[in-house]
Amino acid sequence: MKKKHKMFAGAAGVLVLAWFFYNQNNSIVTTHLTMQSKDLPVGFDDYKIVHLSDLHSKSFGEDQHKLIGEIQGLEPDIFVFTGDLVDSRRYNEQTSMNLMEQLTDIAPVYYVTGNHEARSGKFKGLENKLEAAGIHVMRNRSVELERQGEFIQLLGVDDPLQPADDDERNAMEERLARVTEKMNGDDFMILLSHRPELLSLYSQFEVDLVFSGHAHGGQIRLPWIGGMIAPGQGLFPEYTAGEYTENGTAMVVSRGLGNSLFPLRVFNRPEIIAVTLKAEEG
């Protein structure tokens, strides 16, 4: 009897552990944030941006129906997607395009590359498909967004590996200089860039708000500690999830949706971020 009890307990433990890991990697959470700024034009008060990142070709149900189901009720003004739509190790354009094509039926979509698009060696074909689907591919350029007769600037920069550059920070600095050269001090600037560890550089260009990903939430998150490891930051990374501010530049980092080299998330469920902009009186 004792042997049977041990076998039953062991089997139950395996099932609980399997459920836990499945839930951690497939149960999507939506994080709601409010970002206030006295520099935001009043016409953009209550403007909603839904931020997605790091899908890595993952599927959330057939034709991404679980992910789309989580998104549909958010009523965004725009979507921003901050890189690693595909995974260079298990490249699958179809699952990624299934998501992006459906997003365009809800709101305009603005997208920047991540390091996996660059490493895949297949980005040109993917770029053509994204543009044909109506996605705004933001390759070192800016667009002007209008609402209620007022304007803000949305900027997007390629990941430093697109194309490969030995000095990633220098490559990013050159791209930021190019994309901001026509801006003036009155422009409210939102930047889409894959890598959060470059916040100090973004702040040098007086960007108001940055959306980023890449860190996967630190992959494994521990209470009171946070993320354990992130690409470009190593162990106990500084920028993994949520809000950060440096020298007047705010940054929102997504924990992302999929996985890459390390196949599991722990206390770090896939994330959608819904950001509401507020014009602060001042």
**Residue with token string 């003004």:** 77
In this prediction the pTM is 0.95
What pLDDT sits at residue 184? 85
For the chain, what is the mean pLDDT? 93
Distance between CA 154 and CA 147 in Å, rounded?
13
Count H helices and E strands in the chain, helices first: 7, 16
Does 6 have pLDDT greater than 90? no
Task: Classify residue 94: in a domain, yes or no.
Answer: yes
Residue numbers of the domain that contains 165: 29-279
User: Which of 123, 182, 193 shows the shortest CA–CA distance to 158?
Assistant: 193
Task: Classify residue 170: in a domain, yes or no.
Answer: yes
Does 146 have pLDDT greater than 70? yes
Task: Classify residue 140: in a domain, yes or no.
Answer: yes
Higher pLDDT pick, 264 / 66: 66
Q: What is the mean pLDDT of residues 7-21?
A: 76
Does 109 have pLDDT greater than 90? yes
Kindly indicate the confidence band of residue 5, based on its pLDDT and cuts at 50, 70 and 90. low
Task: Classify residue 17: in a domain, yes or no.
Answer: no
What pLDDT sits at residue 166? 67
Does 280 have pLDDT greater than 90? no
What pLDDT sits at residue 16? 77
CATH classification at residue 269: 3.60.21.10
Task: Classify residue 168: in a domain, yes or no.
Answer: yes
The percentage of residues in the chain with a pLDDT greater than 90, rounded to a whole number, is 82
pLDDT, tens digit, 9 for 90 and up, residues 19-70: 888 899 999 999 999 999 999 999 999 999 999 999 999 999 999 999 999 9
Q: What is the mean pLDDT of residues 148-173?
A: 89
Task: Classify residue 143: in a domain, yes or no.
Answer: yes
Tell me if 276 sits within 8 A of 46, measured CB to CB. Answer: yes
Tokens matching residue 217: 């939430």
Does 7 have pLDDT greater than 80? no
Query: Using only C-alpha atoms, what is the Rg of the chain?
Result: 20
Tell me if 218 sits within 8 A of 228, measured CB to CB. Answer: yes
Q: What is the mean pLDDT of residues 82-102?
A: 95
Distance between CA 135 and CA 130 in Å, rounded?
5
Kindly indicate the confidence band of residue 165, based on its pLDDT and cuts at 50, 70 and 90. low
Q: What is the domain count for the chain?
A: 1
Task: Classify residue 47: in a domain, yes or no.
Answer: yes
What pLDDT sits at residue 260? 84
pLDDT, tens digit, 9 for 90 and up, residues 203-260: 999 999 999 999 999 999 998 899 999 999 999 999 999 999 999 999 999 999 999 8
Q: What is the mean pLDDT of residues 76-105?
A: 96
Task: Classify residue 68: in a domain, yes or no.
Answer: yes
